[in-house]
Amino acid sequence: MTAAQTQAAGDAAMAEAVMASARRTVLVEAEGVRALHAALDGELGERLVEAVGCMQSSGGRVIVTGMGKSGHVARKIASTLASTGTPAHFVHPAEASHGDLGMIHGSDVVLALSWSGEAPELADIVAYTRRFGVKLVAITSRAASALGSAADVPLVLPAMPEACPNGLAPTTSTTMQMAMGDVLAVALLSLRGFTASDFRQFHPGGKLGAQLRRARDLMHAGEDLPVVPADAMLSHAIVEMTGKRLGVTAVVDGEGRLAGVITDGDVRSAMEGGFVDRPVSSIMTRNPRRIGPDMLVQEALAMMHKARITSLFVVEDTQLLGVLHIHDLLREGVA
């Protein structure tokens, strides 16, 4: 066997081993989530309802804590809660022992994570909750552990094998903890009636923030809105379209109501036999598609795709306010 053949055989063996490990990891972790789903039909579900009620009615914040890998998961849970309308932040248990216990108020709820329930670093924060009557919710796999037995509401997850072949590295356990955190966050946002509009307040940046913007935020209005009166001539419309550079102009009646639309395609069709000036009403498309100013731009984009158009006119109470162009959505990262 040549060196190249040996290398190819080694690469193939490595690829096979990687894929076998990947499939096993996903399967084992999926079994953990399935076990979590089944457990919700029993005591875990009853405790979940209690925990959500506690967090919803506390009047304070959810203080999430954990050590090691559970601590990393706790940070993510705190972030998810905060971004979905439940005031929350992460407190590191070691820092809590050195002054950060002062961040926890009597109206707060502490959510502590420890798979074994025996993390010694949590001792001070647990003791603090017991001393000052702060509600303690635990996510653990052992009800009889120090954390599980101290908690007001222990959320005891099924003890499932780790995906790590040595059964040591937190893998399945952290996936299940993460899922439980999502369960809490989604239940709370559902109870609060948390909407896409609320969500945007906490996610103003990036593509997600762009998708949650409203038509009024991106539309061309005022001097930037291409518009001609219904009695205008085609030459006037061409000048307006050329100046505003959107490839479209609105046509409005004497009351400022949207009567029609002329696109650059309409102009080309009208000029196929040579330019002949004529009233815009003779070539405009009547009753063009329109949207309200508070429509989410991602919904407007879906309308554009479905109708295979590049612009939508924004109307409120029959009055033309602006025009939303697909180029604006592309520029903002919506499309």
pLDDT of residue 318: 82
Contact 122, 148 (CB under 8 A): no
Q: What is the mean pLDDT of residues 103-115?
A: 96
Choose the most confident range, by mean pLDDT, from 2-16, 172-186, 193-207, 258-272. 172-186
What would the pLDDT profile of 126-153 be if each residue is shown by its tens digit? 999 999 999 999 999 999 999 999 999 9
Residue 201 has pLDDT above 70, yes or no: no
**Alpha carbons 64 and 103: distance in angstroms, whole number:** 12
pLDDT at position 133: 94
Q: pLDDT by residue (tens digit) across 168-200?
A: 899 999 999 999 999 999 999 988 877 666 665
Q: At residue 209, does pLDDT exceed 70?
A: no
- Percent of the chain with pLDDT strictly greater than 70: 94
Q: Report pLDDT digits (tens) over 151-165.
A: 999 999 999 999 998
The residue assigned the tokens 């309200």 is 292
- Poorest-pLDDT segment among 38-42, 97-101, 173-177, 206-210: 206-210
Q: Tell me the mean pLDDT in the region 307-333.
A: 85
Q: Over 70: is that where the pLDDT of 238 sits?
A: yes
Spatial CA neighbour of 148 closest among 174, 120, 94, 112:
112
Percentage of residues in the chain having pLDDT higher than 90: 50
Convert the pLDDT of each residue in 49-74 to its tens digit: 999 999 999 989 999 999 999 999 99
Taking Cα atoms as reference points, which of 106, 108, 114, 107 lies closest to residue 89?
108
- Average pLDDT over the chain, rounded to whole? 89
pTM over 0.75: no
pLDDT of residue 327: 85
Side by side, the strands of the sheet bearing 258-263 are 227-229, 248-252, 258-263, 285-286
Residue 158, pLDDT score: 96
Under 8 Å between Cβ of 167 and 141:
no
Tokens for 103? 């961040």
d(CA 32, CA 164): 13
pLDDT of amino acid 197:
60
Burial class (CB in 10 A: 0-12, 13-18, 19+), 154: buried
Is the pLDDT score of 335 beyond 80? no
**What local confidence, expressed as pLDDT, does residue 199 receive?**
60
SS (H, E, C) the chain: CCHHHHHHHHHHHHHHHHHHHHHHHHHHHHHHHHHHHHHCCCHHHHHHHHHHHHHHHCCCCEEEEECCHHHHHHHHHHHHHHHCCCCEEECCHHHHCCCHHHHCCCCCEEEEECCCCCCHHHHHHHHHHHHHCCEEEEEECCCCCHHHHHCCEEEECCCCCCCCCCCCCCCHHHHHHHHHHHHHHHHHHHHHCCCHHHHHHHCCCHHHHHHCCEHHHHCEEHHHCCEEECCCEHHHHHHHHHHHCCCEEEEECCCCEEEEEEEHHHHHHHCCCCCCCCEHHHCCEECCCEECCCCEHHHHHHHHHHHCCCEEEEEECCEEEEEEEHHHHHHCCCC
**What's the pLDDT at 84?**
87
The whole-angstrom separation of Cα 220 and Cα 203 is 24
Q: Burial, 159: exposed, middle or buried (Cβ in 10 Å; 0-12, 13-18, 19+)? A: middle
Per-residue pLDDT band at 332 (split at 50, 70, 90): confident
For residues 112-138, give the mean pLDDT.
Answer: 96
